[in-house]
Amino acid sequence: MRRLSGQDGGFLSLELPEQPMQTMVLAKLAPGRSAPLTTGEVASLLAARLDLLPAFRLRVVGVPLGISHPVFVEDGSFDVAQHVRHAVVAEPGGDGELDRLCAELAARPLDRSRPLWQITLVDGLAGARQGLVLEIHHALMDGFATLTTLARIFSEPPSPDAVVWRPERVPNRLRLLGGGVWHQTRTLSRFPKLVALTNRRLGAVKERRATSDVAPPQAGVDTPLTAINQGFTAERRYARTSLSLEDVQLVKKAAGVTVNDVALAVVAGALRSYLEARGELPERPLVASVPVGMEGSAAAPRAMGNRFSRLVTSLATDVADPWERLLAISAVTQRAKEYLDVTGPELLPAWLEHAPPILAGPGVRRGQAARRTPGKAPSKLDVNVVISNVRGPSAPWHFGAAEVEEMYLSGPPNSGAGATFVVWDYAGRLLLAIMAFADSIDDPGELAAGLRCCLAELVQVAEGLAASI
């Protein structure tokens, strides 16, 4: 029996009927196999790797009264075949039909009576292709652990020595209550030190802000209320696109910024164009939350759990010129990273330990109700969008004998952030997926086209600068 961390449990508390909280991985498989995959083969290929996937057999069991975070138990009735689905997209099986299927799947919460994941084999795609859509609840893993999990599914061979698996009996109410009280008592004993530490570090950030010429936005204070933050339906919109990694590197070098800065600027340009076309561009710049892993590049692989913080930065959507916008985003984001170093990335997870379901659940519901209130003050909105940047493999992965041509990652929009953008480099290309509330983004395809257009604008400037040297 393993207790979920505050971050893990927080994603369960965030889940509402209109707010499913699973992440999604879309893999498009290249044709060329002697025969198409079947659901039985998918189940067998996953079953052979279950020893490498510790989260896939774990079921969530809540603590009575929600006084502490839930626990994981090895599901005694686990059957991998129950987690494999099949779908056939409508003709002609193009990108639009596949995107609509992904949006439909993202709108359905995963079954909490089983381990919180499922995979759907997709047939009917053009060019004799197949697809795999893997859904994993965010409570099981963050981006770092998801990358480890994907590598084990799509690149590592199964272990020749199977680990003996022993299902666990679900603990009774008394044991759950006793363990929950003990855990929360220990957590509360650390509360005074956490408050003192937080005050010291926030004080240090305040001092830096007072003397800084670049001020990162403050979540819930500087965030404008926009049309993309009206997310109140479970219906989803999904779109994806591919960007040239070579072009991104060209812009990065010419501007003296990071790949993440370029990704933020590309998203910012697309959002600015999208809102401007509808006459809804706010005067204040949009605010983005950027997840930041707590493990370095040399960290040992981790296949479950959440261990990340976030930085809050400006998308400079009030700046009309694309190049000036990129430089502004880079300057603010660099300062936001410095502030995060001062506060410490572990501070947010530490506070979440003090928010068991009995507190977190009602808080989430109150926040959602407040966002529905007409004339709500913009200061109640945390951020406008979430933008993640994940490092992917340099060579294509495989599922069985099939090569994975493309793979897209997407995260669940929630808490007023109407859309999530997940960018990652896969086999030499920069792939980007958009997942949004249907009442926040009516045409994600327009946003995807805007991403390509914004990058082209930046490339044009970068090429001009290179030619002038």
For the stretch 213-218, contacts whose Cβ atoms lie closer than 8 Å and that sit 24 or more positions apart, written own/partner, are 214/331, 214/332, 214/334, 214/335, 215/332, 215/335, 216/311, 216/312, 216/313, 216/314, 216/332, 216/333, 216/335, 216/336, 216/339, 217/285, 217/287, 217/312, 217/313, 217/314, 217/332, 218/312
Residue from 462, 412, 467 nearest 262 by CA? 462
What confidence score (pLDDT) does residue 231 get?
85
- Look at residue 426 and tell me whether its pLDDT is greater than 90: yes
d(CA 325, CA 311): 18
Q: Do the domains 214-391+411-468 and 2-159+172-182 match in fold? A: yes
Phi, psi for 120 (deg, rounded to 5)? -115, 125
The 10s digit of each residue's pLDDT in 105-126 is 999 999 999 999 999 999 999 9
Residue 5, both tokens: 């961390």
d(CA 455, CA 30): 27
**Across 363-386, average pLDDT:** 76
- Look at residue 386 and tell me whether its pLDDT is greater than 70: yes
Residue partners of 202: CB distance under 8 A and separation at least 6? 343
What confidence score (pLDDT) does residue 375 get?
55
What confidence score (pLDDT) does residue 380 get?
63
What confidence score (pLDDT) does residue 378 get?
42
Percent of the chain with pLDDT over 70: 96
DSSP per-residue letters across 83-150: GEEEEEPPTT--HHHHHHHHHHHHTS---TTS-SEEEEEEE--GGG-EEEEEEEETTTB-HHHHHHHH
- The reported pTM is 0.95
What confidence score (pLDDT) does residue 178 get?
95
For the stretch 460-467, contacts whose Cβ atoms lie closer than 8 Å and that sit 24 or more positions apart, written own/partner, are 461/251, 461/254, 461/322, 461/323, 462/250, 462/251, 462/253, 462/254, 462/255, 463/250, 465/254, 466/250, 466/254
**Strand, helix or coil for residue 368:** helix
**Across 337-364, average pLDDT:** 94
- Look at residue 406 and tell me whether its pLDDT is greater than 90: yes
What confidence score (pLDDT) does residue 374 get?
62
**Across 171-198, average pLDDT:** 95
d(CA 469, CA 150): 43
Assign 298 a pLDDT band (cuts: 50, 70, 90): confident
**Across 230-236, average pLDDT:** 90
The 10s digit of each residue's pLDDT in 131-149 is 999 999 999 999 999 999 9
Phi, psi for 436 (deg, rounded to 5)? -145, 155
**Across 419-439, average pLDDT:** 96
| Domain map (residue ranges) of the chain | 2-159+172-182, 214-391+411-468
**Across 4-29, average pLDDT:** 96
- Look at residue 377 and tell me whether its pLDDT is greater than 50: no
- Judged by phi (left if over 0) then psi (alpha if -120 to 50, else beta), residue 320 lies in alpha
Assign 452 a pLDDT band (cuts: 50, 70, 90): very high
What confidence score (pLDDT) does residue 161 get?
65
What confidence score (pLDDT) does residue 33 get?
67
Per-chain mean pLDDT for the chain: 93
Fold of domain 2-159+172-182: Chloramphenicol Acetyltransferase (3.30.559)
**Across 2-20, average pLDDT:** 96
Assign 366 a pLDDT band (cuts: 50, 70, 90): confident
Domain 214-391+411-468: which CATH number of 3.20.20.370, 3.30.1490.20, 3.40.50.2300, 3.30.559.30: 3.30.559.30
71-74 vs 287-293, strand pairing mode: unpaired
The 10s digit of each residue's pLDDT in 262-292 is 999 999 999 999 999 999 999 999 999 999 9
